[in-house]
Amino acid sequence: MNNKYLQEEIVRISGVNVSKCMRCGKCSATCPAYDEMEYHPHQFVNMVENGEIEPLLNSESLYKCLSCFACIDRCPRGVQPAKVVEAVRLTAIRKQGNNHLKADDIPAIIDDETPQQLLVSAFRKYTK
Amino acid sequence: MKVTYFPGCTLKNKAKDLDLYAYKSAEALGVTLEEIEDWQCCGGVFTTANDEVATKLSSVRALKYAVDKNQPLVTVCSACHNVIKQTNHAVQTNSQFADKVNRYMADGSYNGEAEVYHYLEMLRDLVGFDKLKESVVNSLKGKKIAAYYGCLLLRPNSVMRMDDPENPTIMEDFIKALGADAVVYAKRNECCGGYISAESPETAKKNSQAIINNAKAQGAEMIITACPLCKYNLVNNGADIPVVYFTELLAEALGVKEDTNE
């Protein structure tokens, strides 16, 4: 399954050259959300290179990335895997009806101490 | 010295201490924080996608405001700092992006001229840790304090340029300037989970507890942070030592904390 159009779109939005990856796995080794992911950072890069976009678009892994930039800073080739994850996630949530977090979900999430920062950040990452 | 100040959404609500003690401490050090009129929320996280423009406009407006005032732009919250610095870098390095954001600007253009400082950078680079040390009235001597950097202060290093991203010293130097002992531990620059608390609280719990346990194992009696979300995650996930904003510690050392108790 090779989706050329989506592949080009992900590369364009992210600005990442996926063919620079040398498969060392350091991005996944340093990822603080590794255990929660079906597809790990190095697999995102690899699958985009192979045009396998649909499995990524439908994976919960999109919503496990913490945007901590660890994979970006620690990649020895400067590939920036988190930018690929972000581009795929945006492609998923930009589709009508695909918001991952809805306002109705908020009452169950918050407590008296919840900082505004948590909500604005989550909405920015999960919702369009 | 006068600087333009961007507080951010949480500092006017759940993280009032971070804001209040930043003001009081700056005043004690001879710095006036001039808050941007009508500042807008930075959005909490920077969107790395090249085609995201509208989400970055509030940062561009803050940057332009500082340039018009001919002042450096100072932020205290790790997240605001990260978003604004990354937006500035995008304007400086991506001419297409710069062109797009400028189509939204009402008067004049913005081309990346602003200088952005985190409050800690302001203390180090504009005030000086030597002067800070001289200004301490309540030395925190004997206290073992762990700095928690988290992710957003230091990364991505190619943009933030704040410190060595894997072996930072700025917060430890800050702690030492206040007279306390800085506790160094491996997980000080690992992510607490951030906004994942909204999606998968278990992930935040696992990450936060690893950070707390690591700091305590190295002898920490207190953890300091610049990020409201880091503080929330650490406290919410079982921190049994105090987790406080670095500005509160600063205000205590400078002897201005008492004045601010409501």
Q: CATH no. for residue B33?
A: 1.20.1050.140
pLDDT above 60 for A66: yes
C-beta atoms of B43 and A120 within 8 A: yes
**Do B113 and B195 sit in the same domain of this protein?**
no
Contacts with B4 (C-beta within 8 Å, 6 or more apart), sequence order: B34, B36, B62, B65, B66, B69, B71, B72, B73, B74
Within a domain: B130: no
pLDDT above 90 for A102: yes
| CB-closest option in A64, A87, A100 to B49 | A87
What span, in angstroms and rounded, lies between the C-alpha atoms of B64 and B73?
Answer: 10
| Structure-block tokens of residue B44 | 């909490």
CA dist B21 to A33, A36, B33, B83, Å?
A: 34, 38, 12, 22
**Do B19 and B98 sit in the same domain of this protein?**
yes
Q: What are the tens digits of pLDDT across the range B9-26?
A: 999 999 999 999 999 999
Q: What are the tens digits of pLDDT across the range A34-57?
A: 999 999 999 999 999 999 999 999
Q: What are the tens digits of pLDDT across the range B63-116?
A: 999 999 999 999 999 999 999 999 999 999 999 999 999 999 987 899 999 999
**Do B98 and B150 sit in the same domain of this protein?**
no
pLDDT above 80 for B45: yes
Alpha helix ranges (H) inside chain A: 4-14, 26-29, 41-49, 54-57, 70-74, 81-93, 106-109, 116-126
pLDDT at B262: 47
Instruction: Count structural domains, chain B.
Output: 2
Domain boundary among B64, B86, B120: B120
> Is B243 near chain A, with CB under 8 Å?
no
Q: What are the tens digits of pLDDT across the range B148-157?
A: 999 999 999 9
For B115-136, b where at least 16 C-beta lie within 10 A, e where not — what string? Answer: bbbbbbbbbbebbebeebeebb
pLDDT at B260: 47
**Do B150 and B232 sit in the same domain of this protein?**
yes
Within a domain: B49: yes
Distance from CA of A67 to the nearest CA of B (A): 8
C-beta atoms of A124 and B45 within 8 A: yes
Within a domain: B132: no
What span, in angstroms and rounded, lies between the C-alpha atoms of B61 and B38?
Answer: 10
Domain A4-95 bears CATH identifier 1.10.1060.10:
yes
> Is B198 near chain A, with CB under 8 Å?
yes
- The ipTM, to two decimals, is 0.96
| CB-closest option in A87, A90, A121 to B195 | A121
Q: Where are the domains of chain A?
A: 4-95, 100-128
**Do B63 and B112 sit in the same domain of this protein?**
yes
Distance from CA of B179 to the nearest CA of A (A): 31
Interface size A-B, in CB pairs within 8 Å, comes to 135
Residue B103 sits in which domain range? 2-120
Helix axis angle for B170-177 and B246-254, nearest 10°, is 20
What span, in angstroms and rounded, lies between the C-alpha atoms of B40 and A12?
Answer: 29
C-beta atoms of B197 and A118 within 8 A: yes
**Do B174 and B102 sit in the same domain of this protein?**
no
pLDDT above 60 for B57: yes
**Do B71 and B145 sit in the same domain of this protein?**
no
pLDDT at B259: 56
Within a domain: B10: yes
pLDDT above 60 for B261: no
Between residues 149 and 168 of chain B, which touch chain A (CB distance below 8 Å)?
A: 150-152, 155-157, 165
| CB-closest option in A36, A86, A113 to B47 | A86
| CB-closest option in B41, B150, B232 to A115 | B232
The model's pTM is: 0.97
Within a domain: B66: yes
C-beta atoms of A125 and B156 within 8 A: no
Within a domain: B125: no
pLDDT at B108: 80
C-beta atoms of B229 and A66 within 8 A: no
Within a domain: B128: no
Residues of chain A with C-beta less than 8 angstroms from the C-beta of B165: 73
C-beta atoms of A15 and B50 within 8 A: yes
C-beta atoms of A117 and B199 within 8 A: no
Residues of chain B with C-beta less than 8 angstroms from the C-beta of A118: 44, 195, 197-198, 229, 232
How many DSSP H helices and E strands does chain A contain? Answer: 8, 0
**Do B144 and B248 sit in the same domain of this protein?**
yes
What span, in angstroms and rounded, lies between the C-alpha atoms of B81 and A50?
Answer: 36
